[in-house]
């Protein structure tokens, strides 16, 4: 569980358009790494390149290497499906499967892959995942009700439970709280703190306070200008980024003097 990711000289292209340029960084295991930056600067693109989800866009490709515990994710003969088995993802908008109950949603990662697992083990896994997502007490009496009947915050925690049920090594979160109210956000942030013990977590957020609250390391992405590729300006300890950043652009962005 929990792997180190080393990214070296990563360029991400959509067809001919260079979206993200020259990113090199190391993501430590059992830590929370946050990425902040203005819209359109390639945070989400970079995040999605960590489990090869950006390839779902036709003609998207990368140059450079992403190494996860000595394995290059973009090496020849690497199956994107196996990469995603180890690197899970939570999205901006909660997206439980509407045809499935709460129980089936959490079990979806196994059920959709036809994993052979006894009913008792499956029930146990569902309970463990829901407990880990701080949702068990709220839904234990209605596991067979549809997942889309839950509130937005509960749905997002259901999606997190679904993501951790397949026991990935790394959990990517793409603005997981941007559609949620402050109380649900609080619940998710507490959850991130708990999950940190077992997983490597990478989170993209527009909320700088959130980055400061939950992360150990913070990276700042920025654009040089319209049509220019996004770049990683600076990455460092969160306390350092938010107190004495090395780069002027970072300081401007964090203190609200941006643009």
Partner 1 sequence: MPTSTPERELDLESPIGGPPLVHGTLPRWAPQFTLVTAIAAGFALFAVGTAVGLAAIAAVLLYGLAIYSWSRPIEGARKAKDRVVTAIVASTFLLALLPLVSVILTVVSRGVARIDPAFFTFSMQGVVSEGGGAYHAIMGTLIVTGLAALISVPIGMLTAIYLVEYGKGKLARAITFFVDVMTGIPSIVAGLFAFALFALILGPGVRLGIMGAIALSVLMIPVVVRSTEEMLKLVPNDLREAAYALAVPKWRIIVKVVLPTALAGIATGVTLAVARIIGETAPLLITLGATSGTNFNPFDGRMATLPVFSYYEYVNPGVPPEPSLQRAWTAALVLIIIVMVLNLVARLISRLFAPKTRS
Residue 218 near residue 242, CB atoms below 8 Å: yes
Could you tell me the CA-to-CA distances from 245 to 108, 161, 197, 203, 215 in Å, in that order?
A: 42, 35, 27, 20, 16
CA atoms of 234 and 231, how far apart (whole Å)? 9
Which residues fall within 8 angstroms of residue 84, CB to CB, at 6 or more apart? 51, 52, 53
Distance in Å, CB of 99 to partner 1, minimum: 4
> Based on CB atoms, which residue is closest to partner 1, 73 or 89?
89
Residues of this chain that interact with partner 1 (CB under 8 A) are 51, 53, 56, 58, 81-85, 88-91, 93, 95-99, 108-109, 111-114, 142, 145-146, 148-149, 159, 162-163, 166
> Based on CB atoms, which residue is closest to partner 1, 64 or 146?
146
Buried b (16+ CB within 10 A) or exposed e, 5-25: bebeebbbbeeeebbbbebeb
Distance in Å, CB of 250 to partner 1, minimum: 30
Distance in Å, CB of 157 to partner 1, minimum: 14
**Spatial CA neighbour of 160 closest among 206, 95, 208:** 95
Could you tell me the CA-to-CA distances from 207 to 17, 93, 253 in Å, in that order?
A: 28, 16, 12
> Based on CB atoms, which residue is closest to partner 1, 122 or 249?
122
Distance in Å, CB of 106 to partner 1, minimum: 11
- Backbone angles phi and psi of 211, in degrees to 5: -55, -45
> Based on CB atoms, which residue is closest to partner 1, 145 or 240?
145
Q: Is 36 exposed, middle or buried (0-12, 13-18, 19+ CB in 10 A)?
A: buried
CA atoms of 234 and 215, how far apart (whole Å)? 15
Distance in Å, CB of 121 to partner 1, minimum: 18
> Based on CB atoms, which residue is closest to partner 1, 68 or 233?
68
Distance in Å, CB of 144 to partner 1, minimum: 10
Distance in Å, CB of 87 to partner 1, minimum: 8
């Amino acid at each position: 569980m929990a792997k180190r990711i080393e990214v070296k000289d990563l360029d991400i292209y959509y067809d001919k358009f260079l979206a993200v340029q020259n990113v090199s960084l190391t993501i430590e295991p059992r830590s929370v790494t946050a990425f902040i930056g203005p819209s359109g600067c390639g945070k989400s693109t970079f995040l999605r390149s960590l489990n090869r989800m950006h390839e779902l866009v036709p003609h998207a490709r990368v140059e450079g290497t992403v190494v996860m515990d000595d394995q290059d994710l973009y090496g020849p003969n690497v199956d994107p499906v196996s990469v995603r088995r180890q690197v899970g993802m939570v999205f901006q908008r909660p997206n439980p499967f509407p045809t499935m109950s709460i129980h089936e949603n959490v079990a979806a990662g196994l059920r959709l892959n036809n994993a052979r697992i006894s009913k008792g083990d499956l029930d146990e896994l569902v309970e463990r995942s829901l407990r880990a997502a701080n949702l068990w007490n709220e839904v234990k009496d209605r596991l067979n009700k549809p997942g889309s009947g839950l509130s937005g915050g509960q749905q997002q925690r259901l999606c997190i439970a679904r993501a951790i049920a397949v026991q990935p090594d790394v959990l990517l979160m793409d603005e997981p709280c941007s559609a949620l109210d402050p109380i649900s956000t609080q619940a998710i942030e507490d959850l991130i703190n708990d999950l940190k013990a077992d997983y490597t977590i990478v989170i993209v957020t527009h909320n700088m306070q959130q980055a400061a609250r939950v992360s150990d390391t913070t990276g700042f992405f920025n654009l040089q200008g319209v049509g220019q590729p996004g770049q990683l300006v600076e990455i460092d300890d969160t306390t350092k980024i938010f107190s004495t950043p090395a780069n002027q652009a970072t300081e401007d962005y964090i203190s609200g003097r941006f643009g």
